[in-house]
Amino acid sequence: MTTTLTSEDLYQRVKHVVPAVEWATMAADAAAILRLKHERNAVILAHNYMTPEIFHAVADITGDSLALAREATDVDAEVIVLAGVHFMAETAKLLNPSKTVLIPDLRSGCSLAESITAADVRALRAAHPGVPVVTYVNTSAAVKAESDICCTSGNAVAVIESLGVPKVIMIPDQYLAANIARQTGVEVITHPGACEVHERFTPSDIADIRDGYPGVTVVAHPECPPAVVDASDFAGSTAQMVDFVAAKHPKQVALITECSMSDNVAQQFPGTDFVRPCNLCPHMKRNTLGSIRHALETMTNEVTVPDDVADRARAAVTRMLEVKVAR
Ligand code: 13P
Ligand code: SF4
C-alpha cells in the first residue's frame, strides 16, 4: 500500500458498509495511518474482528489467529502493528523477535487469556503427569511457555491428532476443548475458561434465527458451547467460516461470532445474504483508526516478551506451525 492513495480511493473500499457521513470522521486518521506506515516502515496485521474501516482501508494483512501468526513470521518491515488483542501481538513478537510490535491499545485483553496463569498450567501437569498440554493461542506467553504445543481454532483437530495420544490437557477454553474432544475422540482435560463473546450464544438463539429466517445456514465458532455447535450446520475458525461460505454459496447465512465478521466478508459474497446476529468483543473494539494512528505516531504500546519466557513460548507456537493444515 502506498501513500499515493486518496481518501476517495480508501472510501471506495468501505463504502458498502461505512456511510459517507461516518467516513468523513475517519478519513483524516486513515490518511495519516497510510503516511505513517510509509514513514515507519510498518505493516498492519488485522484480525477478522476489526471494524471494516480498519479491515478494508488500512490493514495490509487480514485473517484468523493462525493466519496472523503465520504472516507475522514473514514480515520484513521494521514495525508490526497488530490490530487485534494482546496475545496476538505477543505471538507476533515471539515469531519475529527482531521487529518492533505495537498494539493500538495495551488494554486489549481476552477473557480466555485472563482465565489462566502459568501456575495453573503447572498444577494441571502435576495432577496429570505425562499428559501433553495443548494450549490455545488465546493465552499469555507465560502460559504458552508451560505448554507442549499451541493450537488455534483453525488447527486444533490437526494439532491434537498429530500427538497420537489418547488423552490431552487442552486449555483454557472449556467449550473449544469439548467441541474438539467430540471431533477427535481424544479424552480432554480442560480448564473453566470461556470466550465472553461466544459463550453468550445459546441454542435458543439459533432456534430463533432459524424461525426468523427459514432455510438459513448457521455457521458457529467452536468457542461457542457444544449445544450451539450442535444446533448449527458447521463450526470453524473465522477463516474456516469464510471458506465454508465460499464453498457452499448459501443463499442466506448467519455467522455465530463477533459482529464485525459479517460486515467484513459480506462484500466478498454478493450472492449470499448475511443475517447478522452477533456479540461485540469489547477488547477487539479498543482498536480504532485513532488508536492505530496514535501508536504509529508516538511509537508507543510496544509489546515485548521477557527472555526467560520467550524461548519456551516460541517453541510451543513453532511446534504448532509445523503441523500442516490447509488454512
Ligand atoms: P480465530 O480467528 O482464530 O477463529 O479466533 C477467533 C477469536 O475469538 C480470536 O480472538
Ligand atoms: Fe478473546 Fe473472545 Fe474477544 Fe476473541 S472474541 S479476543 S476469544 S474475548
Residue 282 CA: nearest ligand 2 atom is 3
pLDDT at 169: 98
Cα-to-centroid distance, 198 and ligand 2 (Å): 8
Contact call for residues 312 and 139 (beta carbons, < 8 A): no
For position 172, which CATH number holds? Answer: 3.40.50.10800
Could you tell me the strand order of the sheet in which 100-102 lies? 61-63, 42-47, 79-83, 100-102
198-238 pLDDT, tens digit per residue, is: 999 999 999 999 999 999 999 999 999 999 999 999 999 99
**Total residues belonging to the chain:** 327
Distances (CA, A) of 169 to 130, 143, 173, 249, 251: 10, 13, 11, 37, 39
Distances (CA, A) of 62 to 49, 82, 184: 10, 10, 29
The verdict on residue 307 lying in a domain is no
- Kindly state if the Cβ of 197 falls inside 6 Å of ligand 2: yes
20: CB partners within 8 A, 6+ apart: 11
Contact call for residues 128 and 148 (beta carbons, < 8 A): no
- Whether residue 52 is found in the same domain as residue 135: no
Contact call for residues 112 and 124 (beta carbons, < 8 A): no
The verdict on residue 304 lying in a domain is no
- Whether residue 128 is found in the same domain as residue 89: no
Ligand nearest to the CA of 67: 1
How many Å from the N-terminal Cα to the C-terminal Cα in the chain? 24
253-262 pLDDT, tens digit per residue, is: 999 999 999 9
**Mean pLDDT on 111-138:** 98
Domain count, the chain: 3
Q: Which domain holds residue 240?
A: 198-275
**Mean pLDDT on 14-26:** 95
Ligand nearest to the CA of 154: 1
Contact call for residues 135 and 171 (beta carbons, < 8 A): yes
